[in-house]
């Protein structure tokens, strides 16, 4: 680990992030295997469609637990927009889609990340609840069950689309971002460019944790 790197995430945050991401990916793959006849071979790899359904359902429970911790952990930081700076960022897309000389300074999460979080949180809850109804269809009126299937499919489309946008922006679209969720440490240059307001806040509050330096006594680096 290079001296001078700054802690962006702690171990628990990364465990929750990857638990949600991997369970979400597994649910997408197994869900597609049940939804489309041409993809039924996914079920055959797991011993048949019945086994595929079991894997999907129990992965859904794991996803629900990870989603609970995700919402609880990040709601205050990523679930609430800061006006007017977030609106200014949205107007120029933060400089991601076209060149912007001085994009508005943002805190720990930019408005794009906040929108992604809210989409995953909102549609994740929808997917979990509709999935429970679909798991026990005989316990509910047929009309409700049919509606749940429609909402489940809609939620899948939204989350599937956001998943790949997030994957792109967390890697190719924003070089230097991936280490934040792999090792937890990022460069000062990256932080200054992507989240300058957050860097200033940590410096002001004395919560900045720098690799190779003594930890501040004031608390944790990600709060």
Residue 61: name the closest of 11, 122, 129 by CA. Answer: 129
Instruction: Determine the 3-state secondary structure of 7 from DSSP.
Output: strand
Return the pLDDT at 164: 86
> Which residue reads 């924003």 in tokens?
174
Return the pLDDT at 64: 97
pTM given for the model: 0.84
Return the pLDDT at 147: 97
Return the pLDDT at 223: 43
Return the pLDDT at 139: 94
Contact 41, 31 (CB under 8 A): no
Return the pLDDT at 69: 97
Element of type H or E holding 186: strand 185-186
The partner residues of 186 in beta bridges, in order of sequence, read 6
166: its two tokens: 């997030």
Return the pLDDT at 43: 82
Return the pLDDT at 216: 59
Q: Which domains, from first to last, does the chain contain?
A: 6-205 (1.20.950.20)
52: its two tokens: 């595929």
Return the pLDDT at 58: 96
Return the pLDDT at 220: 46
* Residues lower than pLDDT 50 in the chain: 217-223
Phi-psi region of 5 (alpha: psi -120 to 50; beta: other; left: phi over 0): beta
What's the pLDDT tens digit per position in 48-101? Answer: 888 999 999 999 999 999 999 999 999 988 988 888 877 887 877 666 666 666
């Amino acid at each position: 680990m290079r001296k001078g790197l700054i802690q962006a995430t702690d171990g628990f945050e990364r465990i929750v992030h990857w638990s949600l991401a991997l369970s979400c990916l597994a649910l997408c793959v197994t869900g597609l295997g049940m939804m489309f006849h041409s993809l039924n071979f996914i079920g055959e790899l797991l011993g048949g469609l019945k086994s595929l359904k079991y894997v999907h359902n129990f992965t859904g429970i794991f996803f629900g637990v990870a989603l609970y911790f995700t919402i609880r952990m990040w709601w205050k930081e990523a679930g609430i927009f800061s006006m007017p700076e977030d609106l200014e960022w949205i107007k120029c897309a933060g400089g991601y889609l076209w060149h912007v000389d001085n994009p508005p300074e943002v805190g720990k999460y930019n408005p794009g990340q906040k929108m992604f979080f809210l989409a995953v949180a909102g549609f994740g809850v929808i997917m979990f609840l509709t999935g429970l109804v679909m798991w026990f269809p005989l316990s509910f009126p047929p009309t409700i069950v049919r509606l749940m299937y429609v909402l489940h499919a809609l939620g899948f489309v939204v989350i599937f689309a956001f998943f790949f946008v997030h994957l792109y922006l967390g890697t190719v679209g924003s070089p230097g971002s991936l280490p934040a969720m792999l090792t937890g440490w990022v460069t000062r240059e990256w932080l200054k460019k992507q989240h300058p307001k957050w860097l200033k806040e940590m410096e002001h509050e004395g919560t900045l944790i720098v690799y190779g330096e003594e930890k501040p006594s004031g608390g944790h680096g990600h709060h």
